[in-house]
Amino acid sequence: MEDYLSEKEQWEWLRDQVRQNAPTVIAAIAVTAAALFGWRWWQAHQDAERVAASSRYTQIITTLDHGDRAQAIAQLGDLERTYPSSPYADQARLLAAKLYVESSELDKANSELTAVMRTSKDQELALIARLRLARVQIAQGKAADALAILNGVDPGAFASRYHEVRGDAYFANGDKATALSEYRSAQTSSPGGEAGLLNLKIAELAGDAPPAPSPAAAHTAAPAK
């Protein structure tokens, strides 16, 4: 259209366009600026939360190093409540579960591990929590529950450990043939094969060695001092 307008007419047309479109342009600029500011604020907020959660977690480790288990448990609960979406909250729950297992508070350990299994955004961490939960359930006499959460799950890099714990659950249920099959699968799926306790479990069920400690009891036994 400009080809058919004089220079003055072109200028007037351009001025009219600016007047007509100025509010839209200004609004678009304002929205873009607000979005950019909001994104930067959110990133800064997330970074600050990560640093704070990390500091809290480090403090918990220090408390445990000083032997104050009760205070550490309280700090773990505070971290979970204050930063529930932080990866450190998952780590705090796993650590709390470990402390509860050591003190034979298996119901509390079950609760912490269930939370990580169901809510963690880290798939590998969720798989680890599921595995530990199954061990706790076996120790609680809930082998059927352990099998229910282990079966039908892709364990990824943890295939060997999943097979072994499934074997423990089947053993606890009295199904020694399936337990032996799972133990052998654990041995096969582990790079280089498993040694030690797993071999003892296989030998016991295959009838090639004197009885070893029961698989479920072996996982829950207190570590040597």
Tokens coding 179: 């337990």
Query: How many Å apart are CA 100 and CA 108, to the nearest integer?
Result: 6
pLDDT score, position 98: 92
Residues in Cβ contact with 7 at an 8 Å cutoff, skipping those fewer than 6 apart: none
pLDDT score, position 84: 79
The domain 122-225 having CATH identifier 3.30.70: the answer here is no
Q: Which residue has the higher pLDDT, 208 or 86?
A: 86
Inter-residue contact 132 to 97 (CB < 8 Å) = yes
pLDDT tens digits, one per residue of 20-53: 766 665 655 555 655 555 546 445 545 556 677 7
pLDDT score, position 190: 74
Inter-residue contact 197 to 205 (CB < 8 Å) = no
- Of 211, 209, 155, 140, which is closest to residue 186 (Cα–Cα)? 155
DSSP state of 56: H
Binning pLDDT at 50, 70 and 90, where does residue 65 land? confident
DSSP line for 57-120: HHHHHHHHHTT-HHHHHHHHHHHHHH-TTSHHHHHHHHHHHHHHHHTT-HHHHHHHHHHHHHH-
Tokens coding 22: 């100025």
pLDDT score, position 183: 93
pLDDT score, position 75: 85
Residue corresponding to tokens 């079950």: 110
- Per-residue pLDDT, averaged over 56-64, amounts to 83
pLDDT at residue 115 is higher than 80: yes
pLDDT tens digits, one per residue of 152-184: 899 999 999 999 999 999 999 999 999 999 999
pLDDT tens digits, one per residue of 124-152: 999 999 999 999 999 999 999 999 999 98
DSSP state of 141: T
Inter-residue contact 136 to 169 (CB < 8 Å) = no
Torsion angle (degrees, nearest 10) of CA 202, 207, 212, 215: 40
Measured from the Cβ of residue 13, the count of other Cβ atoms closer than 10 Å reads 13
Q: How far is CA 88 from CA 60, 128, 190, in A?
A: 11, 15, 29
Binning pLDDT at 50, 70 and 90, where does residue 13 land? low
Inter-residue contact 130 to 150 (CB < 8 Å) = yes
pTM: 0.68
Q: What is the mean pLDDT of the chain?
A: 79
Query: Which regions of the chain carry the CATH code 1.25.40?
Result: 122-225
- Could you give the percent of the chain with pLDDT greater than 70? 68
